[in-house]
Structure 1
Amino acid sequence: MKVALLSFAHVHAATYIQLLRDRSDIELIVTDPDADPGDPTRGKALADELGVTYRAGYDEALAERPRAVIVTSENARHRTLVELAAAAGAHILCEKPLATTEDDARAMIDACERVGVSLMTAYPVRFHPAFAALRHTLSDGDLGPLLSVHGTNNSSPPALERPWFADPACAGGGAIMDHTLHIADLLDVLLDGEQPTHVHAVANSLLTSSTDGPEVESAGLLTLTYPRGLVATIDCSWSHPATHPTWGGLTLTCVGERALAEFDAFPPLLTGYDTAQAATRWEPAAIDLDAAMLESFLTAARTGQRAHPDGETGLRTLKTALAAYASLHTGQPATITAT
């Protein structure tokens, strides 16, 4: 099956390429025409380093009629590339957030539905076997009615690798846009698509304050209120220093009437001290969530089945992040209208 990857802007692009390039069932082509020609971390230079077939532009790549397309551009460019891929008849996996505005997300969903192709949002954490166990524990009633959920998604600032993450025009925001959505997706799964009615957000930019360009929030805390009275919080901060032993981490704590359950997406397998680097070393448990997500997407593309998490999921979770920005603007909880 032919697969095209469009743009290397996102930090996950190289990871997806490495997972796909050596598969005997995949013919991979890539393109990154928007890259700075002198940037060795993008464009043909990166494609050559990774040993994958490069095409000069999006039109050239899509002219080869790939059955599946992966969009890993800057967030604000997702709509353009998804619409191009849909017009070429490809099933699409789009990096999160699905878009930076609700209108763009809806247009992307509609474009895919018109031609009958799948639109999948890149939420790999839901494929974690420990999260599946948590979901079953909740559905089996072992926790009792769910009262509250606390989620954390913290990392080093991604702008250290890709500066556009700190450009609100390209990214749609800062840490809130970047790190709210994985937790929002897990909540979407646990609550069967139920959306919060209100979102209250507080944030600051103390961790990445700079005079070099637009300032985005680097630390945020969201409080979500649901119709049934459930309250959830999301810590979505870029709070890990560059010297931290891991890039990031994600946890979820679910409090029910009968019991409490905790989920850690990246628990340490081994901890210790690296004498060569004079730093703490942390070896995470070996579960490749990106590989699991890609396998689900490729299966859907082969069979023509609807891929999950789909575009509607991407839109619902995006609305949570957009409501958080509305709340920051007013200082009051923002209301979400159900999709």
Structure 2
Amino acid sequence: MERSNGGQNVKWALLGASTIAGQYMVSAIRAQTDGAVRWVVSGKAERARAFAQAHRIERWSTSVEEALEDQAVQAVYISTTNEKHYPLAMAAIGAGKHVLCEKPLAMDAAEAAEMVSAARSAGVTLAVNHHLRSAGSHKAIRALITSGALGRVLSLRLFHAVHLPEHLRGWRLDNPSAGGGVIMDLTVHNADTVRFLLQEDPESVIAETATSGMGAGVEDSAMSVWTMPSGAMVFSHESFTHPFTESGIEVHGTQASVFARGVMAQEPLGRIELVSKQGRGEISFDAAEIYGSVIEDFQSAVARRASPAATGTDGAKSLMVARAVHDAARTGARQTINYGEIE
């Protein structure tokens, strides 16, 4: 289904010929009115050429500069390994391009803060592909919370333990310098989910990690407990090694509880139930394609200076939570999160 983009014809360059770009983002961009992918860039010429041919993209290159020099390109989507997010985003911002970056936004808080500041100074949109907040299921859970249907929220439990698909293995499992490990891959998503649902930032975390069968030099499982300003308790569980479980969210309040299963996914899947003294009932939600919503919001931000679904600030704060979980597990000590001047 073609989507409206506020009258803005946005031409894109893909920086990274990634799996997610091929499976989801090319079609999501083209689903917008006049949405177009003009370039794909990869560090390997054969990969760039093959990706361009497979997805009918006119231009490919191994040179980021070549794509950024194209005045017709207004936005870039970055989906490289994590350590390249910062230099690529800064180059794109310097060239006056709008940026949609894969999570995590950067490798550390200092890089993230610099990216947010640079985009603001350049007057371009910086967004992060925290796609879960664009899912109809997550929007429905947030609506239940904000409507008061749950009463005062007491606790939230996220279980994002999955079995990492074969085609996504590699650097995620054995390359800490590239940002590998379950914390930078999944905990950062959980951090954004909690911030989106509760509309507040975690204050401190305690955590433990493990290598439970897949990681080599990086953690493949993590559990953490977070304190929130409201007093709500948060438990977050992530893993790459669980083949027979399902993801989900539970939110427990003084008046009702939400049980959502199968909603931590790239597809608009899952089921949501609300349980209260009135009984148990299923909650319907919009099953629109998730990445199409991400791109639609991003291009509306480009066209009207509105806000994308997840801003650079959202990405920076979720990264800070993930880094705090990593440090808490490493040191065995509670980590207090200082968000500094990220706003």
TM-score (norm 2): 0.83
In structure 2, the residue corresponding to 1:144 is in which secondary structure?
A: coil
Residue equivalent to 2:211: 205
Counterpart selection for 1:121 from 103, 107, 128: 128
1:268 positional shift: 5.6
User: Which amino acid in the other structure matches residue 253 of structure 1?
Assistant: E
Partner of 2:229: 227
Gapped regions of structure 2 (runs ≥ 5): 1-9, 272-285
SS in 2 for 1:52: coil
2:22 is the alignment partner of 1:20? no
Counterpart mapping for 1:40-189 below 5 A: 42-56=47-61, 57-65=63-71, 66-157=73-164, 160-166=167-173, 167-171=175-179, 173-189=180-196
Q: Identify the residue that residue 30 of structure 1 maps to in structure 2.
A: 39
Measured in 2, the distance between the counterparts of 1:305 and 1:67 equals: 16
Closer, same or farther: CA 160–315 of 1 in aligned 2, 3 Å:
same
* Equivalenced residues, count: 308
Distance 1:121 1:176 in 2: 17
Q: Distance in 2 between matches of 1:181 and 1:159?
A: 21
Closer/same/farther in 2, CA of residues 62 and 157 from structure 1, 3 Å limit: same
The equivalent residue for 2:260 is 263
The aligned residue for residue 7 of structure 1 is: 16
Q: Which moved more, 1:303-312 or 1:82-91?
A: 303-312
Question: How many Å separate the matches in 2 of 1:117 and 1:309?
Answer: 14
State how far apart, in whole Å, the 1-side matches of 2:30 and 2:141 are. Answer: 33
How far apart, CA to CA, are the structure 1 residues paired with 2:26 and 2:36?
11
Give the direction of change, closer, same or farther, for the CA distance of 1:308–1:268 in structure 2 (3 Å limit): closer
Structure 2 CA distance, aligned partners of 1:168 and 1:154? Answer: 20
The 3-state SS of whatever aligns with 2:145 is helix
Q: CA offsets, 1:217-237, max 9 Å, x none? A: 111111111233211011111
CA positional deviation for 1:128: 1.8
| Equivalent position amino acid for 1:50 in 2 | H
1:218 alignment partner in structure 2: 220
Give, in angstroms, the shift of residue 22 of structure 1.
6.6
Q: 1:180 to 1:225 in 2, by over 3 A?
A: same
Kindly provide the CA deviation profile for residues 66-125 of structure 1, in whole angstroms up to 9, marking residues without a partner as x: 122111111111111111111121111110000111111111111111111111110111
Superposition TM-score, scaled by structure 1 size: 0.84
> For the structure 1 residues 78 and 159, does the alpha-carbon distance in structure 2 shift closer, same or farther, using more than 3 Å as the test?
farther
Counterpart for residue 5 of structure 2: none
**Structure 1 residue 54, shift from structure 2 partner:** 2.5
Give the deviation of 1:332 after TM superposition: 1.9
Matched, 1:333 2:334: yes
3-state DSSP class of the match of 1:179? Answer: helix
Would the alpha carbon gap of residues 148 and 22 (structure 1) be closer, same or farther in structure 2, given more than 3 Å must change? closer
Matched to 1:304, the amino acid is R
5+ residue gaps, structure 1: 270-284
Which residue of structure 1 lines up, in the alignment, with residue 282 of structure 2?
A: none
1:195·1:338 contact (CA, 8 Å) conserved in 2?
no
Query: Would you say the 8 A contact 1:143–1:260 is kept in 2?
Result: yes
**One-letter amino acid of the structure 1 residue matched with residue 214 of structure 2:** T
Q: Are the counterparts in 2 of residues 68 and 298 from structure 1 also a CA contact under 8 Å?
A: no
Letter in 2 for 1:288: E
Once residues 42 and 83 of structure 2 are traced to their aligned partners in structure 1, the CA distance between those partners, rounded to angstroms, is 16
Q: What secondary structure does 1:207 align onto?
A: coil
Q: Which runs of 4+ in 1 moved over 6 A?
A: none
2 CA distance for matches of 1:296 and 1:157? Answer: 28
In 2 relative to 1, CA 256–97 (structure 1 residues): closer, same or farther, beyond 3 Å?
Answer: same
Q: Is the 8 A contact 1:67 1:301 kept in 2?
A: no
Following the alignment from structure 1 to structure 2, what is the Cα–Cα distance between the partners of residues 254 and 140?
Answer: 14
DSSP-derived class of the 1:85 partner: helix
